[in-house]
Amino acid sequence: MPVKTYSKTKLKQFKKSIEAKLNNVVGEMNDLKENLDTNTSGNSSMSQDGVYSVHMADAGTDSYEREKGFHFMNRESDYYKYLTKALGRIADGSFGICTICDELIPEERMIEVPNATKCVLCKENDKLNI
């Protein structure tokens, strides 16, 4: 039985939407990088000698903020990779097809989660099997 796919028009719309999301992610990553660079350059709490010149709580807050920034950067980087893979699936014709049941993933899901590779039912069953 042939697998259903999205029309070329729909795939073009998805591609345009994903490319817009990629641009947003790049902007977010640039902002995060700039913020990390700003917070770490010239910060006295970064040097070993400077740790004693500021209050311990301030040094802890600075460290926490840097760690949080790196976490957000990691998350955005992963999302960028997933969106890039989604563009690859558009190119190879497998976009929007569930990798488990081979059914077409509903358009609403693909609009909200363009990097989805499973339909909602298969995703829920997958979570239950963990």
Separation of alpha carbons 14 and 112, rounded Å = 11
pLDDT tier for residue 53 given thresholds of 50, 70 and 90: low
- Model-level pTM greater than 0.85? no
Residue 113 inside a domain? The answer is yes
- Give the 3-state DSSP-derived string for 2-24, with helices as H, strands as E and coil as C: CCCCCCHHHHHHHHHHHHHHHHH
**What is the tens place of the pLDDT at every residue in 77-96?**
999 999 999 999 999 999 99
Q: Which residue has the higher pLDDT, 26 or 3?
A: 26
Residue 98 inside a domain? The answer is yes
Residue 49 inside a domain? The answer is no
Residue 63 inside a domain? The answer is no
Whichever domain contains 23, its CATH number is: 1.20.120.910
